[in-house]
Amino acid sequence: MALRLPKAKCRTVVGEAGHELVGWYVYRGMVNTTLLEVAFAPELAGKGIGKAQIHEFGGYYQWTLNPYFDIRLAGNVAFLGSGFKDIARLADCNLQTPGLQACDGNNVALKGEVRFRARF
């Protein structure tokens, strides 16, 4: 289930010079985790799996210099919710070391881009 909030725009100008600032938050979660809990029952040892899967923040800033050229800076930051962290702890993150070295699921996914666009 993904919940995408409406984009909050500061100013949008199409075909003219202008600035645009957009931001968003996305939450992905499960309504029912019973199937996963049954599938991983031996590994979970009676523990449950949380319903929150992913939290993601993102946005972009676009500067339109004229009707033919614009510059866009965009980025996203995503981190795991409690459910994916519970699943990550079941995986072995270091296969070189004997025994189970559980993952912690605390890494953050980052994405960024700069785009220059010209229309002819």
pTM metric for this prediction: 0.65
Q: Where are the domains of the chain?
A: 2-106
Q: Give the range among 72-76, 104-108, 113-117 with minimum mean pLDDT.
A: 104-108
Alpha carbon distance 18, 55 (integer Å) = 31
User: What type of residue is 110?
Assistant: L
Alpha carbon distance 91, 79 (integer Å) = 17
Question: In degrees to the nearest 10, what's the CA dihedral of 61, 66, 67, 72?
Answer: -20
For 12-48, the pLDDT digits (tens) are 444 567 899 999 999 998 888 888 888 888 888 878 8
Check residue 35 and give its pLDDT. Answer: 87
Alpha carbon distance 33, 87 (integer Å) = 11
Would the pLDDT of 1 be above 60? no
Alpha carbon distance 54, 80 (integer Å) = 5
For 42-75, the pLDDT digits (tens) are 888 878 888 888 999 999 999 998 888 999 999 9
Check residue 43 and give its pLDDT. Answer: 80
> For residues 49 and 85, is the Cβ–Cβ distance under 8 A?
no
Q: How confident is the model at residue 2 (pLDDT cuts 50, 70, 90)?
A: low
**Residue 11 token pair:** 């100013």
Closest by CA position to 113, among listed 55, 60, 56, 54: 60
